[in-house]
């Protein structure tokens, strides 16, 4: 089965690494924290009516190599714009 996706999905799977952070403890030679943020381009879900801008996916892992004290936090954020909206021009 073959499906053609709507043109509004063009570029949806384009991601950019926007932030990387790693914290080390020099006295114990351990990784204390790792954080990665990934951004996506603005997306006109329904052209001129509904858009999602400034999309960001963030993953933070505290004590990534310690199964006893490891914790993971996920954030997904973005701006939902409803009404008359225009997607910004894409950089080529």
5-41 residue pLDDT tens: 555 555 556 789 999 999 999 999 999 999 999 998 8
Q: How many structural domains does the chain have?
A: 1
The pLDDT tens digits of the residues spanning 45-87 come to 887 888 888 899 999 999 999 989 999 999 999 998 888 766 5
| Residue 26, CA distances (Å) to 23, 29, 35, 67, 68 in order | 10, 5, 18, 20, 20
Backbone angles phi, psi at 9, to 5 degrees: -85, -5
Q: Is the pTM of this model over 0.75?
A: no
- Measured distance CA(39)–CA(36) in Å, rounded: 10
Nearest to 6 by CA among 40, 36, 45, 64: 45
Q: Left if phi > 0, otherwise alpha if psi is -120 to 50, otherwise beta: which for 83?
A: left
Q: What angle do CA 77, 73, 20 make, to 5 degrees?
A: 75
Residue 33 inside a domain? The answer is yes
Q: What is the pLDDT of residue 1?
A: 45
Q: What is the pLDDT of residue 59?
A: 97
Residue 91 inside a domain? The answer is no
Domain span at residue 35 reads 15-82
- Measured distance CA(43)–CA(47) in Å, rounded: 9
Q: What is the pLDDT of residue 88?
A: 60
Q: What is the pLDDT of residue 46?
A: 81
């Amino acid at each position: 089965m073959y499906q053609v996706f709507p043109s509004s999905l063009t570029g949806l799977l384009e991601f950019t690494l926007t932030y990387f952070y790693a914290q080390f403890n020099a006295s114990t030679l351990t990784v204390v924290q790792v954080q990665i943020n990934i951004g996506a381009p603005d997306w006109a879900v329904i052209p001129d009516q509904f858009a999602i801008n400034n999309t960001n996916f963030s993953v933070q892992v505290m004590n990534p190599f310690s199964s006893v004290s490891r914790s993971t936090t996920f954030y997904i954020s973005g701006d939902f714009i409803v009404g008359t909206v225009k997607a910004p021009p894409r950089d080529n």
